[in-house]
Chains A and B, each alone.
Chain A
Amino acid sequence: MADEVILLDYWPSMFGMRTKMALAEKGVSYEYIETDPWIKTPLLIEMNPIHKKIPVLIHKGKPICESLIQLEYIDEVWSGTYPMLPSDPYQKAQARFWADFIDKKFYDPSWKVWGTNGEEQVAAKKELLEHFKTLETELGDKTYYGGEVFGFLDIALMGYYSWFKAMEKFGEFSIETEFPKLTEWTKRCLERESVVKALTDSDKILEYAYVLRKKFGAE
């Protein structure tokens, strides 16, 4: 099929969840291929030879890698509905800046808080809480990060939502207690079908975090 869209993804991936949300927001049908990135299938290697990672979005046979790049691609190709990025260049730059912050700064402690132990874990928790605070401050009293409209940056952060429970459990903190505005924002996002359908159940992720902890030697 000429317009065929395929998504190579792995069920626990916060990055894959972003892409699924974006495709759903735009009403794009696609074929989902469960792809364990620990097993380098020929298709994964062919479509992402450089990183061999998921998610990989394949559109008309051509691969697009890296979730934030996929989000921009989806927004540009299916530009007729639900614009994900603001049209104003400055607002767009701000959205990109914060999405970049999430992946460059937030990502590392977000997994270290459940994936490590001892001093490393303590340091990760401290850093994670600082970044949550920064993100809550940036949200402020807005309905969404995009303002009145759910968009790119909301998707970028909500991709991590399924992992929040694991972060809280091993980090021994409560997002609801520490970050009430962020919590209200997550509830608003969870009213969207695109978000709910894209997310993996938090308990399943928590179970998986236990498995990975053992694998990483943190248990």
Chain B
Amino acid sequence: MANRAQIASKSSALIAMIADEDTITGFLLAGVGNVDLRRKTNYLIVDSKTTAKQIEDSFKEFTSREDVAIVLISQYVANMIRFLVDSYNKPVPAILEIPSKDHPYDPAHDSVLSRVKYLFSSESVASSGRH
């Protein structure tokens, strides 16, 4: 029971999405849309009326679901819940920040690359300390 998520060596899982309407429409065209018996979807369409709380709740829900392997989130949406995205460190589901139509990708805000910067900045501090 403790390892129920990893009993099978291979399992099929969904791609969840938290993004703007056009991005969601596009990926739904690619066949990733899923609606379960309780009419719960694997996506959240973010518009001007969507609150940070709704985004936060959706993020927490998708990252705790065992049948989700990847969570796609538009970077500008991730910036609204940056503290939550940066504190997430599980391998699965993988959180991928993607650009949106109106907000280009900024590597400075990417949670994975910010860890890279931290590693290099701590190395440079350590080496400057030795001299």
Does B bind A? no
